[in-house]
Amino acid sequence: MKPYKEIIQLGQLELRFLLDGEDTNQQMVMFELLIPPGAKVPVPHYHVEVDEAVYGLEGVLTSIVNGQTIETLPGESFYIPRGDVHYHANLGTENVNTLFVLTPASIGPQYFRDLRALMQAGMPPDPAKVVEIMGKHGLIPA
């Protein structure tokens, strides 16, 4: 078993944190993201100050970056610079597991904990509160 620092369940998604800002002097966050078939993560958005690297571990991740479709197979990677509008989805029939590296570490476990708290209320989260949480962590819905 891998030494995950923290595992966060967010709806259908599972985030397995390997490194966070505490480990990297706030320079980087690294996590695996498990996405079941049919799930989309999250709304199209861009990062104000964070660059994102994506590396396929299992399954086929479909990402839309600035309107272009990118399919990432195991062993393949790509880069999303800050400011590029993007989202990720699993359009296949198998689970997807992808490694994400974000620099610097401003979008870390706390962002996902904050979203999870909204979702645990038993009802769909208030979109305005989701946008507020996203903005607090430097994500802007497109």
Band the pLDDT of 119: cuts 50, 70, 90.
confident
d(CA 84, CA 46): 6
pLDDT at 1: 52
- Domain with 61, as residue range(s), is 6-141
Output the pTM of the full model: 0.93
Query: First and final CA of the chain: distance in angstroms?
Result: 37
d(CA 19, CA 117): 22
Q: What is the DSSP secondary structure assignment for residue 130, as one 8-state letter?
A: H
In a domain, 1, yes or no: no
Secondary structure string (H, E, C) spanning 79-100: EECCCCCEEEECCCCCCEEEEE
Q: What is the pLDDT of residues 26-35, one digit of tens each?
A: 999 999 999 9
Q: How many domains would you assign to the chain?
A: 1
Residue with token string 């870390």: 108
In a domain, 121, yes or no: yes
